[in-house]
Amino acid sequence: MNFLTLFLTIQCLMVGTECCMRMVPPDDVYIPSTLAPVESTMAPGVSTMTPGGIYTSAETEAPEVTMMTTPAMESSTVTEQLCKISAATCPDLASVISGQVAMTTDTDGCIELSCVPGNDPSLTASFDNSEIPPPTPGDVGDDFSIRVPLPPQEVVGGLSGYYGLVCENNKLKATKYPLGIDTYTGSGIFGADGSYNGKKSALNIVQCE
């Protein structure tokens, strides 16, 4: 009986040990934690030291840069954006204007050019300062005139709109040639079909006769 009891006791111990081993998870099994995450109590902007001895900052704020503008700067910028011709964009306008040309300036600083009643406009430029190519080899480096409207009453709204006058690089330029151009060499009339419209020509003289 003692031998049988000992044998049964050993069997029970072996079964119990095997059950306990099955309940123990292996080392690579992930056991989720039920603890709440620990929040940092460090104030924003506090520097901390890394293991390598390098200080790091929790937050980095860039300095705010404010650009100051003066009323004079704002007024000049608005004038340049709104006006095709102004004293700011064409400082040497008076050196180009001659004859019976009337200059009027509105409240925005924009300048309008027109002929005194009874006078016809006359605008001249040079092929050297124009996007219009010389029509003939003999016209290279020569001047040309923008043809006079017939009758002059066709110039409605001033010279600026009729000839597409603009100021660019401190120079008064024409961009419209409604009846084309006349060359000084007498080679002919060119651009009467409107093909030159959009090309810029720096004007030498703007006058009304």
Cβ(141)–Cβ(128) under 8 Å? yes
Domain assignment present for residue 129? The answer is: yes
Q: Average pLDDT in the 57-77 region?
A: 48
- Nearest Cα residue to 208 out of 152, 142, 126: 152
Work out the mean pLDDT of the chain and round it to a whole number. 76
The one-letter amino acid at 75: S
Domain assignment present for residue 73? The answer is: no
Cα 183 from Cα 190, distance rounded (Å): 8
pLDDT of residue 71: 45
Counting the structural domains of the chain, the total is: 1
Domain assignment present for residue 35? The answer is: no
Q: pLDDT of 185-209, one tens digit each? A: 888 899 999 999 999 999 999 999 8
- Cα–Cα distances (Å) from 112 to 54, 82, 93, 102, in that order, read 67, 13, 12, 8
- Cα–Cα distances (Å) from 170 to 25, 107, 165, 199, in that order, read 86, 21, 13, 17
Which residues on adjacent β-strands are paired with residue 121?
Answer: 208
Please report which confidence band the pLDDT of residue 21 belongs to, taking 50, 70 and 90 as the band edges: low
Cβ(175)–Cβ(168) under 8 Å? no
pLDDT of residue 185: 87
**151, pLDDT greater than 80:** no
| Residue-number span of the structural domain to which 204 is assigned | 92-208
Domain assignment present for residue 175? The answer is: yes
Domain assignment present for residue 144? The answer is: yes
Domain assignment present for residue 8? The answer is: no
